[in-house]
Amino acid sequence: MKDLQNNSKNFDNRPIGFFDSGVGGLTVLDKVQKLLPNENYIYFGDTKNMPYGEKSEAQLLNFADKIFKFFENKNVKAVVMACNTTSAVTYDKLKNNYNFKIYPIIQSVSKVLSKMDIKNIGIFATDATINSHCYKKEITKYNSNINVYEIACPEWVKIVEDSQEGTSESDKLVKEKLDEMLKNSPDKIVLGCTHYPYLIDTLAKFAQKDLFIDPAINFAQYIKEDMKKYNMLSSSNDAASFEFYVSSSPENFKIAGEMFFDMKKAKINLTY
Ligand code: DGL
C-alpha cells in the first residue's frame, strides 16, 4: 500500500473492490456492507478459474494480479481479498504492487482467533490454504499454546457453486470431514474458505452451530475500524451501490449467490 496513511483528506468516496473465485466472497461482502452501508462496492468472481484451491502458486499469482489490475482500472480505494486461498498463497508476494490498500482475510483475522480462550482450534479450508499452513502460522505467531488442526475440504466449494447444499450426497461429504475433525476435540472450527458458510445449516445437522466460526464477522469489523482509522470511509449518506463481475457463467453465479445476497435485482457483468 502506498501513501494512504499520509492522505490528508478525511474521507474517500471511491469504491471498495472484493474478489473471490466465485460466490464465496459474497459471505464477506454481506457482512461488510451491513457495517458500512454507504459505500460503493465492486465484486469480482473469477468463476472461469475456480476452484482456486486446486491451483498452483504461479496460477494463483497470475489470477490475483489480473484481478488487482482490473480494480486498478476501476480506481478503487481498497481491495478486500474475500478469498482465503489467494490471501494464503499470493498476498505476501503481491501486497506492495498496487496503489490501493489490500485486506487479506487470514492475516486480518488471525490475531482475534488466537486470543480466544481455547486450547484446540480446527481449520477447514481448501487444499492450497491448508498446504500453505497460513492459518496455523498466523495464529501461532500470536499464541504458541494453541493447537491448530487443519483439514482440506475441496469438495465443499463445488457443492456451493452448484447450489447442491442439503442433498444427501453433499451432507455425506460434509459429515465425513466433520467426523475427521471432531476426533481432535476442537473447541472451535474456523470456516477457512469463504464458500463454507453456505454449508452452515448442513454442518449444524451434525454438530452445535456455535462450534463454527465464520471469520468474515471479525474481518468486516477489522476493515471498518481500519478504514476509519485511516480516513478511508465514504462521506456519502446514500445507500450502498453494488457492481458485480464474473469471468464466466453469470446465471450460475446469480443462483448460487442468492443465499447471501439478494441477486434478483443484481446485474451480473461478464468480463475478461
Ligand atoms: N472461496 C475461496 C477461499 O476462501 C476459494 C475456493 C476455491 O475456489 O477453491 O479459499
Confidence class of residue 8 from pLDDT cuts 50, 70 and 90?
Answer: low
Cβ proximity of 45 and 261 under 8 Å:
no
CATH of 16-104+218-270, picked from 3.30.70.260, 1.10.10.10, 3.40.50.1860, 3.40.50.720, is: 3.40.50.1860
Q: Is the pLDDT of residue 2 over 70?
A: no
222-239 tens-digit pLDDT: 999 999 999 999 999 999
Mean pLDDT of 4-13: 70
Between the CA of 48 and the centroid of ligand 1 the distance, in Å, is 13
Q: Has residue 63 got a pLDDT over 90?
A: yes
Asked if residue 132 has its Cβ within 6 Å of ligand 1, the reply is no
- For ligand 1, the distance from its centroid to the CA atom of residue 128, given in whole angstroms, is 9
Instruction: State whether the beta carbon of 84 lies less than 6 angstroms from ligand 1.
Output: yes
- What does the pLDDT average to over 83-94? 98
Residue among 85, 19, 24 at smallest CA distance from 55: 85
Any alpha helices (H) in the chain, and if so which ranges? 26-35, 57-73, 84-89, 91-94, 105-114, 127-132, 134-142, 155-161, 168-182, 200-206, 216-229, 250-257
Angstrom distances, CA of residue 7 to CA of 2, 45, 47, 232:
10, 30, 35, 9
The residue with cell 465484486 is 43
Q: Do domains 16-104+218-270 and 108-215 have the same CATH topology?
A: yes
Domain boundaries, the chain: 16-104+218-270, 108-215
Q: Against a cut of 0.85, is the pTM above it?
A: yes
Torsion angle (degrees, nearest 10) of CA 26, 31, 32, 36: 130
Percent of the chain exceeding pLDDT 90 equals 93
Grid coordinates given for 250:
453469470
CATH number assigned to the domain covering 108-215: 3.40.50.1860
Q: Which residues are catalytic?
A: 83, 193
> Stretch 187-212: mean pLDDT, rounded?
98
Cα of 156 vs centre of ligand 1, distance in Å, is 10
Task: Using most ligand atoms within 8 A of CB, pick from 107, 157, 199 the residue to mutate for ligand 1.
Answer: 157
The predicted structure's pLDDT at residue 272: 72
* Location of C-alpha cell 490501493: 100
Three-class DSSP category at 255: helix
- Look at ligand 1, atom 8, and give the residue with the nearest C-alpha: 51
